[in-house]
Amino acid sequence: MKKAYLKTYGCQMNEQDTRQMETLLGQSGYARTNDPLDADFALINTCAVREKAVHKIYSDLGRMRLIRENNPNLLVGVAGCVVEQEKEALVKRFPFVDLLFGPDHIRHLPEMLGKAEERRDKQGPSVLHVGFDARKDFQFVNVLPNPDESPVKAFVNIQKGCDNICSFCIVPFVRGREVSRPAHEILAEIKALTERGVKEVMLLGQNVNSYGFKSNDGVSFAELLERIATQTNLSRLRFTSSHPKDVKDDLIDQYANNPVLAPHFHLPVQAGSDAVLKAMRRQYSRDDYLRIIDSLKARVPGIAFSTDIIVGFPGESDADFRQTLSLMEVVRYDLVYSFAYSPRPYTSAIKLADDVPLEVKKARLAELQALSDEHTLAIHESVVGQIKEVLVETCDDSDTLVYKGRTGCNKVVHFTGTPCAFGDRVRVIIKQANPHSLFGETACPNS
């Protein structure tokens, strides 16, 4: 077997793309290696969401050039969003790279690999595949990921691209317009995954709430969740990422009535001030957002929330930032993914002056993360003494039998006690709260 080294930057969508590329490479005779010096093919799957990520990729490619000089047979490839962002400019900057392709071209990897090997041998021009298929022509990659990764959990793409135009976001320009995957493909993949023991699935899309808006089979997102619960043996269902403007009552009904849907909702708010939300072109107000949170808290007691927040967006005043902190106080998120604004090419915000000084961005980020950590710990402390149902994912230490799993609310729990198997749902009494996880013991059957 030839060996392939795969490195991934960025979001869960990119991680899933890499899993699919690993399977396609496996079908082309490549086994995975974690050592680029041991590889016949080295592929970097890139992320363009922040400038910092792009710089890391360029230094990676600098290192890859040296490895290639010592091993002229090494085939080098670059995939993902930076290829779509930079196109020919990336070829000019790194002419030694044999193959470059954007996210829409993953399913063609086996053929592109053949052309890249030819290019390497004949010293021809780099093989570059960029651009987007028309919505009607786009086909999703229908391969199952390598089972070794996690026997219990899996990710399933339900959508690609995005039709929103949030002013800070490069995604629509590097992943194209929104396409929803046919429901029958999604159900078939989940059935195949549960047949091999998977208990939990995370549905992936840039804005899963608009799933089905422009698809042929007319299946809405809520309908899809219903079908997964009634037509598969899945034990627990999650999804990411969502856009508040497309959260409808039928989704809230699913949270209240769908026994498989985990009581955790990742709902990016990005900012707490209406002025900033307007400048970000998020198409909802602070009150619109809080109305969704309130209805879910009323219909699903104990539901957990997480979110994404950007600080230092152009024009963000200190008062605007205080609005973000006060919104966090209202919602009390289990987890906040927070970032400092980074100007991105093609986006409309790039025309705005990046007028919030870096040290102010850093100070706001630090203050926000400290508040978020405070909330997370308080929420963890509030469940000490309670019994929680945990889906067992791994065993941290097989000698002392310390297991690791997650609650329905997506809290990480490490626990000891009665031996159990991966995929078991175990009742655990929470004994200790830590900043990012809980510790417990298996509860007695009749407690």
- In the complex, which residues of this chain contact ligand SF4 (CB under 6 A)? 162, 164, 166, 169, 171-172, 206-207, 243
Q: Rounded to whole angstroms, how far apart are CA atoms 261 and 340?
A: 32
In angstroms, the CA 287 to CA 327 distance is: 10
* Nearest-angstrom CA–CA distance, 427 and 88: 55
- Backbone torsions φ then ψ of 100, nearest 5 degrees: -135, 130
Beta carbon of residue 165, minimum distance to ligand SF4 (angstroms, whole number): 6
Compute the least distance from the CB of residue 243 to ligand SF4, in Å.
Answer: 5
Nearer of residues 112 and 166 to ligand SF4, judged by Cβ? 166
Find, among 211, 320, 212, 312, the residue nearest to 273 by Cα: 320
Largest CA distance in the chain: 71
Residues 6+ apart with CB under 8 A from 309: 268, 269, 270, 271, 324, 328, 336, 337, 338, 339, 368
Nearer to ligand SF4, 354 or 367 (CB): 354
Q: Looking at beta carbons only, is 18 or 207 nearer to ligand SF4?
A: 207
State the nearest-atom distance from the C-beta of 177 to ligand SF4, in Å: 11
DSSP state of 366: H
DSSP designation for 52: H
C-beta of 28 vs 164, nearer to ligand SF4: 164
Minimum Å gap between C-beta 23 and ligand SF4 is 25
Return d(Cα 167, Cα 269) in angstroms, integer.
Answer: 14
**What minimum distance in Å lies between the beta carbon of 307 and ligand SF4?**
12
Q: Which is nearer to ligand SF4, 210 or 323 (CB)?
A: 210
Q: At 381, which helix (H) or strand (E)?
A: helix 358-382
Please say which residue, 206 or 407, places its beta carbon nearer to ligand SF4. Answer: 206
Closest by Cα among 383, 364, 388, 395 to 432: 383
Find out whether the peptide bond into 241 is cis, omega within 30 degrees of 0.
yes
Q: Which is nearer to ligand SF4, 243 or 286 (CB)?
A: 243
For residues 319 and 433, give the distance between their C-alpha atoms in angstroms, rounded to a whole number: 33
CB of 199 to ligand SF4, least distance (A): 28
C-beta of 93: minimal distance to ligand SF4 in Å? 26
Burial 395-430 (b: 16+ CB within 10 A, else e): beeeeeeebbbbbbbbbbbbbbbeebebbeebbbbb
Minimum CB–partner distance for residue 164 and ligand SF4 (Å): 4
Nearer to ligand SF4, 106 or 171 (CB): 171
